[in-house]
Every structure is written in C-alpha cells, then in structure tokens.
Amino acid sequence: MTGYTSNEERADIECVSISHGDYLAEIALWGGGVKSLTFQGRPLLETYKDKPPMMAGVVMAPWPNRTEDGQFTWQGEHYQLGITEPERNNAIHGLAVNWWKLVEQHKDEVTLTFSIGPHNGWPWTVELVATYAVDDSGLHSHVKAVTEHAEEIPFAYGLHLYLSAQGAPTHECVLNLNVDEHHLLDERNLPTGEVRPAKLVDTPLDRVNWDDCFHGHGPLVADYTADGRGVRLAMDSGVEWVQLYTPENFPREVAPSGKALAVEPMSAPPNALRSGIDLVRLKQGKPQVFNLHLSAVEK
C-alpha cells in the first residue's frame, strides 16, 4: 500500500463526506485533512471552495511548521530540504500537501493514505494512514505513521485547523487553552530559545495578533467560543505543541474575509528537525499514532 496520488494523478474526487447525528464532516483528498465540520448545520471549522487557503485543514508531516534554511542533520548526515517559504528561507509544513488516496469509506468513517518520500532532501519513506470518524461526540482524527526502515528516522506531525465558533465573528470570540509556555519566535518565525509563562484563559481574539508557538504538558484542550457556544479541540498526550495564527485576511465564501484563528496541534515545535525537540524516532515495527478530537461546545 503506497497511498500516493501525485499532482499528475489527480484524484477523481476532491473530498468525501461523513456524518453521524448532528455532525457532518468533509475530508479533503488534497492535504489529507478536514475541509469542513458542522454541528446542527453550524460551522466548527473555517472552510473553503477549492484548494485550501493558508494551509487550511491540511496534514503537516514529516515535520510541521518550519525548518531553518531547510537544513538539518540526522545520525551524522546533513540534509537540504527544498525551500518552500522563500521570503524567510525556510522549509515549511512538510511534504504531505498533495493528493492523498481514498482507501475505505463508510457513512461515518473514512480512511486515506499517503506515502512520503524519498523527496528533495528527505531520503526516507513514511506511510501515513489517516482515519476520520464521526459519532455522537464529534469528529475523531487518527493518524498513523509507519516506516519499513530498520534504522530510526525523524518524524513529527501537525494538523493546520482554522476553528469556527459556530459561525460567530472572530472579534466576538475568546480562546481557552491550557498551555503554560510561550516559546518566542524571531522574524523568521523560528524559536529564539526564550520561553515565557503563558496563560490563555478567556483570551479575547480582538486583542491578539498571533503567529506564536505555545507548549503545554497535556492533554491539551482548546475551547474557542462566543457567548458560551463554539468548538472544542482535544489533543492526545503526544501532541503538546500548538501554533496559534490569526491572519487578518482569511477568505470566506459566505461571510466577509477577515480575521481567523488557526489552532495548529503539533507533536513537535518549529525547527524540530534542527533542534531534535520532541521528534519521534520512527523505525520498522514501531508505528506512531496521533489522535485529535473536535466537538461542539454548547451553553
């Protein structure tokens, strides 16, 4: 099973729908992530029409966020990734933003696969298997990373979600997230090494301008609400890093373009391929699994 569909082998369908009770989700084959999620018809995620704007919903692997100069060293060997954020000279968001393969579909569950590498400075092969399922409690995301390499290889995972508090304007929303560290970034959005205490309790979105990295000691839970109603993102214990991003010009179809909130759960921080912080060491017979859960918050 390779699970690979290249740009030239464009998928016959671009997304698949799954539903259960009050929840309806669309899972995108481009990027392998969540295109939309609604509860009783109200949005829990920002959505889009065609290709995901600003990486909305995509899986980030084998590294999330940025790698400085696209360079890293592993087991004494130096590697040069392609530069995909040229304005900052970084390699950004991994190699999985491409067409995934649909391998199984049911009314309430879907499984996609994708094969990473070898590719432009990344000499290893990693198979990703992403299963999304909805039930009475919401949407479950289960991503498994597998390699057949006998030696250990580096890996990290993330999901680039833009939350919606059931359609409420961003400036009316607040965020609660149980992180305790703010890891400062420089002008290239790379860690400076400085860490400050963080407390995100009823943080008003109209008062923040984020492209910032936070860390907690899990399990992390993000509640994004307006007047007590919104969305909850719960992360398992292997996903203890979060990038918060508030672009001012997120494009919307049914509402004016404007400020949005990305909550990007990550298993490792920015520049992890360089620093080694919280990198998973994948090897044959030792798959790694990452679990997330999205649900509605009601008064």
- Rounded to an integer, the average pLDDT of 225-250 is 97
Write down the pLDDT at residue 8.
42
pLDDT at 10: 53
Secondary structure (3-state) at 44: coil
pLDDT over 90 (residue 87): yes
Bridge partners of 139, per DSSP, are 134, 294
Average pLDDT over residues 179-205: 98
Whether residue 160 has pLDDT greater than 50: yes
Asked if residue 283 lies in contact with residue 149, where contact means CB atoms within 8 angstroms, the answer is yes
Domains of the chain: 4-297 (2.70.98.10)
Give the pTM. Answer: 0.94
pLDDT at 7: 39
Q: Do residues 148 and 116 make contact, with C-beta atoms less than 8 angstroms apart?
A: no
Rounded CA-CA distance 57/35 in Å is: 6
For residue 97, which of 47, 155, 54 has the smallest C-alpha distance? 54
Q: What is the distance, to the nearest Å, from the Cα of residue 54 to the centroid of all Cα atoms in its chain?
A: 12
d(CA 82, CA 295): 36
* Residue 229 scores a pLDDT above 80: yes
Give the DSSP letter string of 1-27: ---EE-STT--S-SEEEEEETTEEEEE
Return d(Cα 167, Cα 44) in angstroms, integer: 7
Say whether the peptide bond before residue 219 is cis (omega within 30 degrees of 0): yes
> What is the per-residue pLDDT for 90?
98
Residues 6+ apart with CB under 8 A from 49: 253
Q: What is the pLDDT of residue 2?
A: 30
Task: Give residues with Cβ within 8 angstroms of 199, minimum separation 6.
Answer: 180
Residue-level length of the chain: 299
